[in-house]
């Protein structure tokens, strides 16, 4: 196996982009050998983890815990020392419902509306996103004329900022937008797509897929291209049919990448915010109001803000996500191991 | 380890480069709806030539920074030295008292006294700053559409019902999709609410539950949205209290009557041009009176400044009569300055319609009711506006009945008051 | 290679088209329109005047009313195509409009005023690019400064991200140690909380560290991306452990293993992460907006947001500046995309 590895994969990014750093990397090898002698091989793991975890701890974990503390406080003051401890009051307020199946019976009716909307959005968006990016990746993995051009086409929207994505599609879908102009030319009456509950919901799903599909396609494509070709050749010689080869070879070997994609898509879907905020603003009514917008508006964007309530809602959202991810990782573990050891 | 060290070193370098305010530096946080940022820059350049010791730095920002980010900075004791702000009252504890610092406090009291209370803590006589412009809510009619339809534009004492009837007639005749539109804003909704006899402020200064006057207009309004008299688009175009304007529909000639305000004049002047004739018509009347709403943005000094004396000098300059006059004339803003208002303003535009509209708004400012003048300086205005917009738009979208909306508005406001701990 | 591709979606005979071939091209052509169409329209719109932007029905390219200089009038006059009472069409210039009647002259006979109802005239339009949307912001917009800040933030953050994330991913994928699962879960858990939710706590930390109004305050909170660690770790799991064992037998230090073996083999994933990091950091908006409130520190995204006011948004400037800010990202992508291709192809051969 070792002999097959090309030395440093000559032309790859590692060499080209990091060339200036290379010298430094070699120079610090000696002191690091000394560190390794002191810590042992296992201890080096800590060394490799440290920089990331340090930055992580200060800028991601710490705010996360402070956020938890926020959820136990009340008042409108923004900074923790100025806030009063209220215990579980904020959580109690979120769960204060006469009837849990009807958001309108809750004290925080908008929160539950947002939760319901988000659940539907996630269900639809995640399945469609994975379907579309898998199809696109399979197609881009074929022998195509100008393949890098086609890859760029599907990747292009990822380069745009979410705000720009929202704006572009708003201008296309609004009453005096490009879509109505096209339909008008075909003899249809202009329609305000974003004022229709169903179309508006469909638009948020569609636009978020449009904007992020390229990202996941690329990850899946990388996985597809890494599948050893001799496997297919062997299968071909055995007379295996293409569809069967897809299920028996492609899908299992794609599992590690597919798992990454599923987990990321799900997390991003639950957190959907910027492009929808610009596109529909949560409307019409509250039909595309998703959970992050609720949190953002409650805790930050209104003049009389309630950071405690927003923090409590975000902790609940985080908890749901952790459970979902653990379930997925548990389900995917088998496939991952299979893929990793091949 | 070395990498961490390099990073720490880099971090230290970064820290050094972000030095604290230099002596003599005055930072202004400013947002722009139009050309006012450039006009201000021009005026400040002149100021710096006259005062070489003071370096005024104009940080142009988006309005969302002023609305969402500035409060965070202020609570942390950071922030610019001077800021252009609309949420003046609720943040008044952060403003600097300029009374002992300005050259002539009497000048400020005399010319800006009318709005001084909007931006100072209740019960004080603080001078926090001045209004860069006064805004008056009011209506715009597409005169060309009225002419083409052969419908007379309702007169000065016309009621909301009169306007609705006339606008609907014009829209039907001219095949225009929207008879009327009103911005998605609690401030805009409050004008007609007050005209229908509404009052938000209870005897103890806290928000009162919605009264009959407000309910009557809101019911009418939701009814108009349902039957197509009032444009539904702008009201259902967002959730929560987000501001949305219907200006584009008016500019496109798709809208007969648009209830917005004086700030639209420069916008209309550039975008409508000669496409059609439009007129500003003041506020329609309700059963109680014919009031609109007032408001505006203020330029205030921030308490956490390191250079209060320089800040006061800049403020004195910007508030001086010739500068206020020039600023207003070039930006087409209505000034707050009494002395400037007393003389005729020569707005710098060759658009006769815009000039006429601005004068109509100056006129409309005289019919403001007492409640309308009080609301901008009332601590709870934003809580009421936010609840109104959120719930009325849900009713307009058909998610709840008007009565459910009323109940939610009252409970939303009550929760806000409770949250604040007052 | 081609044999394999043909095998996966084999054509039914050389001359005929299998349904997958049809599907492929329908998907690709459809994708081309849906993915690129909006962007083409964005670029076209960025050259429109404010009035043309608000117009219905919209046009793909920017148009304005054609003007003509007519003898006896100081300013150029708008040209209209007028339907005359006898049904013929002619081009006239508008002198002024009173109500619904327009007073017009023929450019050939400037003295003769014709009265026309406005419903009977349509403007003569010509394509015109409002380049002032681009040139004006450049004059009162410290573009070079903003560009430098954006480049500095993007490059620094991406380099730190690549190094720090790959080290962590190496530890998490190739070492057995106590707390490994815990560390991984911790990283995953923070994927769950988006920035818009922890803004206030993060702000207190950044401001306590003195990083407020400092470019490092934008860079540091973003570099330890959980997504990056996650992608790299999943990729490194596919690298055989035997390689590392062999290297250890050759007396390679752990650092050398990381630097000489793991990193080159992870190149495709690193390239992917590099592209994303560049795109993310370049487009970062919400957080820089909070940390940077001084104009000399603005990044491009923060800079272009100044055209959003309270009551009015100057879309024509925002559109133009959006197009300008898109150019560097697109260039970086075109440049790095070559490395991805070679990187992926390289590992594909293993």
Average pLDDT of A33-53? 85
Residue A144 to residue A177: CA distance in whole angstroms: 35
Residue B309 to residue B100: CA distance in whole angstroms: 10
Average pLDDT of C14-34? 81
Write the ipTM: 0.80
**HSE (CB half, 13 Å, CA atoms) of C229?**
29
- pLDDT above 70 covers a percentage of chain B that reads 94
Range of weakest confidence among A218-227, B36-45, B171-180, B370-379: A218-227
Average pLDDT of B211-222? 95
Residue C7 to residue C20: CA distance in whole angstroms: 12
- CATH class given for the domain over B21-133+295-347: alpha beta
Residue B368 to residue B371: CA distance in whole angstroms: 8
pLDDT of residue B58: 92
Tell me the sheet residues that pair with B142.
B278
3-class state of residue B421 by DSSP: coil
pLDDT of residue B222: 95
pTM of the model: 0.84
* Inter-helix orientation angle A109-140/A147-155, to 10°: 180
Average pLDDT of B244-254? 87
Look at strands B55-61 and B25-31 and give their pairing. parallel
pLDDT of residue A5: 37
Give residue A189's pLDDT band: very low, low, confident or very high (50, 70, 90): confident
Q: Which of B10, B72, B207, B240 to mutate to test the interface with A (most CBs of A within 10 A)?
A: B240
Distance from CA of B148 to the nearest CA of C (A): 6
3-class state of residue C237 by DSSP: coil
Residue B282 to residue B166: CA distance in whole angstroms: 16
pLDDT of residue C56: 67
Is B380 or C350 the better-scoring residue by pLDDT? Answer: B380
- pLDDT above 90 covers a percentage of chain A that reads 19
Is C326 or C12 the better-scoring residue by pLDDT? Answer: C326
Tokens of B292: 């609109």
Q: Which residues of C touch B297 (CB under 8 A)?
A: 310
Sign for the pseudo-dihedral over CA of B389, B393, B399, B404: positive
CA distances from A158 to A217, B360, C283 (A): 11, 49, 10
- Does B11 contact C at CB distance below 8 Å? yes
Give residue C7's pLDDT band: very low, low, confident or very high (50, 70, 90): very low
Across the interface, whether the CB atoms of B76 and C140 are under 8 A apart is answered no
**HSE (CB half, 13 Å, CA atoms) of A261?**
28
Q: Which residues of B68-104 are buried (b: 16+ CB within 10 A; e: fewer)?
A: bbbbbbbbbebbbbbbbbbbbbbbbebbbbbbebbee
pLDDT of residue C12: 43
For chain A, the first-to-last Cα distance in angstroms comes to 12
CB-based burial label for B23 (10 Å; 0-12, 13-18, 19+): exposed
- Of A78, B29, B298, nearest to C293 by C-alpha is B29
- Are the CB atoms for B260 and B183 separated by under 8 Å? yes
- Are the CB atoms for C295 and B48 separated by under 8 Å? no
Report the 3 state secondary structure along C129-176: CCCHHHHHHHHCCCHHHHHHHHHHHHHHHHHHHHHHHHHHHHHHHHCC
Is C2 or B44 the better-scoring residue by pLDDT? Answer: B44
CA distances from B333 to B136, B298, B369 (A): 10, 13, 21
Q: Which residues of C touch B296 (CB under 8 A)?
A: none
3-class state of residue C289 by DSSP: helix
Range of weakest confidence among A301-315, B179-193, C45-59: C45-59
- Are the CB atoms for C284 and C101 separated by under 8 Å? no
Is C10 or B138 the better-scoring residue by pLDDT? Answer: B138
Residue C348 has pLDDT above 80, yes or no: no
- pLDDT above 70 covers a percentage of chain C that reads 89
Range of weakest confidence among B18-27, B75-84, B310-319, C79-88: B18-27
Across the interface, whether the CB atoms of A256 and C238 are under 8 A apart is answered yes
Distance of CA A44 to the CA centre of its chain: 31
Across the interface, whether the CB atoms of B75 and A79 are under 8 A apart is answered yes
CA distances from A146 to A152, A162, A295, B131, C275 (A): 10, 28, 45, 60, 21
Kindly report, as residue ranges, where domains of CATH 3.40.190.10 are found in chain B: 21-133+295-347, 135-294+353-419
Q: Which residues of A touch B383 (CB under 8 A)?
A: 303-304
Across the interface, whether the CB atoms of A304 and B416 are under 8 A apart is answered yes
pLDDT of residue A177: 77
Residue A95 has pLDDT above 50, yes or no: yes
Give the nearest chain C residue to B38 (CA atoms). Answer: C140
Average pLDDT of C65-85? 79
- Does A51 contact C at CB distance below 8 Å? yes
Average pLDDT of C5-21? 56
pLDDT of residue B236: 86
pLDDT of residue B13: 45
For residue A206, the surrounding DSSP H or E stretch is helix A197-225
Residue C76 to residue A129: CA distance in whole angstroms: 54
- Of B369, B320, B362, B367, nearest to B341 by C-alpha is B362
- Are the CB atoms for A293 and A276 separated by under 8 Å? yes
Q: How many interface pairs between A and C have CB atoms less than 8 angstroms apart?
A: 347
CATH (one of 3.90.1580, 2.30.30, 2.60.40, 1.10.260) for C63-127: 2.30.30
Residue B329 to residue B348: CA distance in whole angstroms: 5
Distance of CA B345 to the CA centre of its chain: 21
Q: Which of B68, B239, B420 to mutate to test the interface with A (most CBs of A within 10 A)?
A: B239
Tell me the sheet residues that pair with B42.
none
The chains found to touch A (3+ Cβ pairs under 8 angstroms) are B, C
- Of B173, B182, B177, B139, nearest to B158 by C-alpha is B139
Tokens of A148: 């890098």
Q: Which residues of C158-186 are buried (b: 16+ CB within 10 A; e: fewer)?
A: bbbbbbbbbbbbbbbbbbeeeeeeebbeb
For chain C, the first-to-last Cα distance in angstroms comes to 13
Q: Which residues of B touch C200 (CB under 8 A)?
A: 72
Residue A342 has pLDDT above 50, yes or no: no
Q: Which residues of B touch C140 (CB under 8 A)?
A: 37-38, 41
Look at strands B294-301 and B129-142 and give their pairing. antiparallel
- Are the CB atoms for B285 and B76 separated by under 8 Å? no
Across the interface, whether the CB atoms of A5 and C350 are under 8 A apart is answered yes
**HSE (CB half, 13 Å, CA atoms) of B309?**
5
pLDDT in tens, C269-287: 888 788 888 888 988 887 8
Q: How many interface pairs between A and B have CB atoms less than 8 angstroms apart?
A: 107
CB-based burial label for B35 (10 Å; 0-12, 13-18, 19+): middle
Give residue A269's pLDDT band: very low, low, confident or very high (50, 70, 90): very high
- Of C62, C227, C206, C113, nearest to C161 by C-alpha is C227
- Are the CB atoms for B215 and A259 separated by under 8 Å? no
Q: Which architecture does CATH list for A99-341? A: Orthogonal Bundle (1.10)
- Are the CB atoms for B318 and B242 separated by under 8 Å? no
pLDDT of residue A15: 55
Q: Which residues of C touch A75 (CB under 8 A)?
A: none
Residue A206 has pLDDT above 90, yes or no: yes
- Does C120 contact B at CB distance below 8 Å? no
For residue C101, the surrounding DSSP H or E stretch is strand C101-106
CA distances from A221 to A147, C173, C237 (A): 12, 22, 17
CB-based burial label for B373 (10 Å; 0-12, 13-18, 19+): middle
- Does C55 contact B at CB distance below 8 Å? yes
CA distances from C316 to A97, A174, A233, C55 (A): 47, 17, 56, 13
CATH annotation of B135-294+353-419: 3.40.190.10
pLDDT of residue A11: 46
Mean pLDDT for all residues in chain C = 80
Q: Which residues of A touch C11 (CB under 8 A)?
A: none
Report the 3 state secondary structure along A30-67: HHHHHHHHHHHHHHHHHHHHHHHHHHHHHHHHHHHHHH
> Helices (DSSP H) in C284-348: which residue ranges?
286-291, 300-304, 315-348
Residue B51 to residue B310: CA distance in whole angstroms: 10
Tokens of C52: 């043309």
pLDDT in tens, B322-347: 999 999 999 999 999 989 888 878 88
- pLDDT above 90 covers a percentage of chain B that reads 61
Put simply, the chain C residues between 162 and 181 with a CB less than 8 A from any chain B CB are 163-164
Q: How does DSSP classify residue B184? A: B
Across the interface, whether the CB atoms of A13 and C165 are under 8 A apart is answered no
Across the interface, whether the CB atoms of C308 and B147 are under 8 A apart is answered no
- Of C133, C140, C297, C321, nearest to B40 by C-alpha is C140
Tell me the sheet residues that pair with B386.
none
Sequence ranges of the domains in chain C? 2-44, 63-127, 134-348
Q: Which residues of A188-215 are buried (b: 16+ CB within 10 A; e: fewer)?
A: eebebbbbebebbbebbbbbbbbbbbbb
Across the interface, whether the CB atoms of C99 and B76 are under 8 A apart is answered no
Residue B256 to residue B182: CA distance in whole angstroms: 12
pLDDT of residue A237: 84
Cis amide bond preceding A284, omega within 30: yes
Give the nearest chain B residue to C49 (CA atoms). Answer: B271
pLDDT of residue C17: 67
CB-based burial label for A277 (10 Å; 0-12, 13-18, 19+): buried
Q: Which residues of C touch A316 (CB under 8 A)?
A: none
CA distances from C236 to B42, C174, C182, C231, C245 (A): 58, 8, 19, 9, 15
Sequence ranges of the domains in chain A? 1-52, 99-341
Residue A150 to residue A137: CA distance in whole angstroms: 11
Residue A150 to residue C152: CA distance in whole angstroms: 31
Domain C134-348 has CATH 3.30.70.920: no
């Amino acid at each position: 196996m070792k002999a097959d590895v090309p030395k440093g994969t000559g032309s790859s990014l590692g060499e080209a982009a990091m060339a200036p750093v290379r010298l430094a990397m070699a120079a610090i090898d000696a002191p690091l050998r000394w560190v390794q002698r002191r810590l042992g091989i296992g201890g080096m793991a800590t060394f490799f983890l440290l920089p990331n975890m340090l930055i992580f701890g200060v800028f991601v974990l710490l705010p996360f815990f402070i956020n938890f503390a926020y959820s136990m406080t009340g008042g409108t003051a923004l900074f923790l020392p100025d806030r009063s401890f209220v215990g579980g009051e904020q959580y109690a307020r979120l769960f204060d419902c006469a009837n849990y199946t009807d958001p309108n019976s809750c004290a925080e009716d908008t929160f539950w509306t947002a939760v319901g909307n988000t659940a539907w959005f996630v269900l639809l968006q995640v399945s469609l996103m994975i379907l579309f990016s898998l199809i696109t990746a399979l197609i881009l993995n074929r022998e195509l004329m100008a393949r890098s051009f086609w890859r760029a086409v599907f990747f292009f929207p990822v380069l745009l900022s979410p705000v720009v994505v929202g704006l572009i599609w708003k201008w296309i879908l609004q009453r005096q937008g490009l879509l109505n102009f096209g339909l008008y030319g075909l003899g249809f009456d202009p329609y305000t797509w974003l004022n229709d509950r169903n179309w508006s919901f469909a638009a948020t799903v569609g636009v978020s897929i449009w904007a992020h599909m390229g990202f996941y396609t690329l990850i899946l494509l990388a996985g597809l291209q890494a599948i050893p070709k001799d496997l297919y050749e062997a299968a071909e010689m055995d007379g295996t049919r293409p569809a069967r080869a897809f299920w028996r070879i492609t899908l299992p070997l794609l599992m590690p990448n597919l798992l990454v994609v599923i987990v990321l898509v799900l997390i991003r879907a639950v957190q959907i915010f910027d492009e929808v905020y610009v596109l529909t603003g949560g409307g019409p009514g509250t039909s595309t109001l998703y959970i992050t917008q609720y949190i953002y508006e409650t805790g930050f964007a209104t003049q009389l803000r309630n950071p405690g309530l927003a923090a409590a809602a975000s902790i609940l959202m985080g908890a749901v996500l952790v459970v979902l991810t653990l379930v997925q990782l548990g389900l995917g573990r088998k496939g991952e191991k299979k893929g990793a050891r091949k | 380890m070395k990498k961490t060290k390099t990073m720490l070193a880099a971090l230290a370098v970064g820290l050094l480069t972000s030095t604290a305010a230099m002596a003599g530096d005055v930072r202004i946080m400013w947002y722009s709806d139009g050309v006012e940022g450039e006009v201000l820059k021009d005026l400040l350049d002149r100021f710096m030539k006259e005062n070489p010791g003071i370096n005024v730095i104009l940080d142009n920002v988006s309005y969302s920074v002023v609305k969402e980010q500035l409060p965070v900075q202020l609570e942390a004791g950071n922030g610019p030295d001077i800021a252009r702000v609309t949420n003046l009252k609720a943040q008044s504890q952060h403003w600097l008292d300029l009374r002992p610092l300005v050259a002539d406090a009497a000048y400020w009291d005399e010319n800006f006294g009318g709005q001084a209370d909007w931006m100072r803590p209740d019960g004080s006589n603080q001078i926090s700053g001045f209004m860069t412009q006064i805004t008056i809510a009011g209506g715009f009619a597409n005169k060309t559409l009225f002419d083409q339809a052969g419908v007379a534009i309702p007169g000065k004492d016309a009621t909301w019902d009169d306007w609705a009837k006339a606008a609907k007639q014009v829209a039907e005749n001219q095949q225009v999709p929207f008879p009327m539109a009103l911005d998605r804003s609690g401030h805009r909704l409050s004008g007609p609410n007050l005209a229908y006899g509404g009052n938000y402020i209870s005897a103890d200064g806290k928000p009162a539950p919605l009264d009959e006057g407000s309910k009557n207009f809101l019911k009418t309004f939701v009814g108009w949205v349902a039957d197509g008299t009032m444009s539904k688009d702008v009201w259902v175009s967002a959730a929560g209290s987000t501001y949305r304007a219907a200006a584009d529909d008016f500019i496109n000639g798709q809208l007969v009557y648009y209830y917005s305000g004086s700030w639209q004049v420069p916008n209309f002047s550039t975008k409508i041009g000669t496409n059609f004739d439009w007129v500003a018509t003041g506020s329609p009347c309700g059963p109680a009176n014919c009031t609109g709403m007032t408001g505006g943005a203020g330029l205030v000094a921030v308490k956490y400044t390191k250079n209060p004396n320089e800040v006061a000098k800049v403020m004195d300059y910007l508030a001086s009569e010739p500068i206020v006059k020039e600023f207003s004339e070039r930006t087409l803003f209505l000034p707050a300055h009494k002395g400037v208002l007393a003389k005729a303003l020569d707005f710098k535009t060759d658009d006769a319609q815009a000039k006429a509209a601005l004068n109509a708004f100056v006129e409309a400012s005289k019919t403001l009711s007492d409640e309308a003048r009080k609301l901008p300086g009332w601590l709870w205005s934003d809580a009421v506006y936010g609840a109104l917009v959120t719930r009325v738009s849900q009713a307009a979208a058909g998610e709840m009945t008007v009565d459910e909306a009323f109940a939610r508005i009252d409970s939303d406001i009550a929760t806000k008051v409770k949250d604040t701990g007052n | 290679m081609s044999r394999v591709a043909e095998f996966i979606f084999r054509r039914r005979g050389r001359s005929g088209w299998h349904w997958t071939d049809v599907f492929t091209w329908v998907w690709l052509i459809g994708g081309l329109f849906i993915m690129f169409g909006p962007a083409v329209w964005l670029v076209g719109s960025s050259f429109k005047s404010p009035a043309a932007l608000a117009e219905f029905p919209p046009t793909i390219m920017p148009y304005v009313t054609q003007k003509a200089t007519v003898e006896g009038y100081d300013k150029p006059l708008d040209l209209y195509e007028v339907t005359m009472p006898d049904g013929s069409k002619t081009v006239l210039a508008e002198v002024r409009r009173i109500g619904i009647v327009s007073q017009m002259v023929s450019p050939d006979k400037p003295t003769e005023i014709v009265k026309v109802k406005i419903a009977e005239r349509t403007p003569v339009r010509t394509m015109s690019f409002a380049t002032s949307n681009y040139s004006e912001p450049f004059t009162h917009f410290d573009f070079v400064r903003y560009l430098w800040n954006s480049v500095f933030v993007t490059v620094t953050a991406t380099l730190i991200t690549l190094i720090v994330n790959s080290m962590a991913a190496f530890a998490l994928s190739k070492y057995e140690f106590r707390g490994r699962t815990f560390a991984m879960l911790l990283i995953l858990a923070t994927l769950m909380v988006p920035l818009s939710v922890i803004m206030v706590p993060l702000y207190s930390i950044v401001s306590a560290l003195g990083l407020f109004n400092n470019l490092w305050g934008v860079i540091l909170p973003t570099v330890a991306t959980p997504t990056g660690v996650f992608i790299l770790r999943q990729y490194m799991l596919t690298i055989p452990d035997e390689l590392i064992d062999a290297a250890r037998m050759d007396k390679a230090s752990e650092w050398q293993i990381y630097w000489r073996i793991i990193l080159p083999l992870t190149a495709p994933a690193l390239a992917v992460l590099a592209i994303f990091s560049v795109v993310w950091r370049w487009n970062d908006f919400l957080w820089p907006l909070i940390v940077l409130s001084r104009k000399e520190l603005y990044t491009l995204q923060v800079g272009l947001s100044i055209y959003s006011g309270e009551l009015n948004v100057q879309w024509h400037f925002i559109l133009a500046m959006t197009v300008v800010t898109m150019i560097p990202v697109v260039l970086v992508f075109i440049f790095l995309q070559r490395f991805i291709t070679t990187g992926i192809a390289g590992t594909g051969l293993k």
